[in-house]
Homo-oligomer: A and B are copies of this chain.
């Protein structure tokens, strides 16, 4: 997955009216490409989670606006599409970031082919994201190298939650980027992969992409991390984020907060890998301010798997069982050891973030 030639979203080389994605709902059982031929396809892909992961959601929205411009490049229509795409999922701030970036192109447009201009910027968002992920990896790998130096001959045990991997970005991932770079540098690294109920992004995506890349890993249920930490089996936790406030509060997949608490209780470093595009400079108190998406009960009551070689869905609950399904939670900054960004590692605080991104001082 870390080969430069492989990406999670791209414009079809033969048909520039088609954007290609991986239908991530089918992994690990089936690797299937899916065509986006309209902005509505992009909206569906985001809302129904063909694609997921904050950076990839943002990139998909950018390509959705490109597809909209092919069809109807008028500004009014483009703004209506932008509103629809923005509403596809509420928590990841990259969606807003990417849409606002493309809409600046739309609003500044003065003749020529709008779709061409958007295409260049959507492509730039993807290319930049790969560089950003690589930057996160290169800064974050220092943490793993330091642990490896302390325990020669033993693997560095990383625990991660959900999929903040190559599949969540354009390539490399955020939380996984330090792991992939560590592997390239010959560090003996092993990843505990949280299953990540209800959608099982850990067992279905993270385990799959680590296996593809040959990174040693072990799947665990979400309940297991605390026990492993109590017994010295985790050296560091690295997760991604869908939105991090300027004060360092981290919204990420539901259950992340529980792992942060366990890491804190066991004196294990808890890091968050994030591109600066995931920072919400407008908010500070994440628990109070970040909207938490509630998703369909069926994500909890039904499980997708394989039976006798065929994709099969089963219902695990009794019919009519009342279900609540919050998709994210917020880890307070006090539990976060540090934020790994493309510009370096900083404290999870306004001072920490502004130290790396001083240009945001007046905008936050």
Contact = CB atoms under 8 A, between A and B. Distances in A.
A315 interface: yes
Contacts of A203: 300, 316-317, 321
A254 B221 CA distance: 9
Interface string A296-310: 000011111111000
Q: Which of A196, A200, A223, A312 has the most CB of B within 10 A?
A: A223
A325 interface: yes
Interface range for A: 35 or more
A225 B255 CA distance: 8
A204 interface: yes
Nearest to A162: B223
A219 interface: yes
A235 to B, nearest CB: 16
A324 B225 CA distance: 11
B265 A195 contact: no
B219 A222 contact: no
**Protomer copies:** 2
A224 to B, nearest CB: 6
Interface stretch (A17-25, A57-65, A175-183, A256-264): A256-264
Given A197-B222, A303-B314, A304-B316, A217 B257 contact: no
Given A258-B258, A303-B305, A305-B303, A316 B223 contact: no
Interface in A275-324: 287, 292, 300-307, 312-318, 320-324
Contacts of A149: none
Given A261-B258, A307-B312, A300 B195 contact: yes
A290 B153 CA distance: 29
Contacts of A356: none
B255 A265 contact: no
Indicate the member of A225, A254, A302, A330 with the most B CB atoms within 10 Å: A254
Contact of A262 (B253, B258, B304): B258
Given A204-B317, A305-B303, A313-B307, A218 B262 contact: no
A316 B326 contact: no
Given A220-B325, A305-B314, 20 more contacts: A197-B222, A200-B316, A217-B322, A218-B324, A219-B301, A219-B317, A219-B321, A220-B300, A221-B255, A221-B325, A222-B223, A222-B255, A223-B255, A223-B329, A224-B326, A230-B257, A231-B287, A261-B262, A307-B312, A307-B315
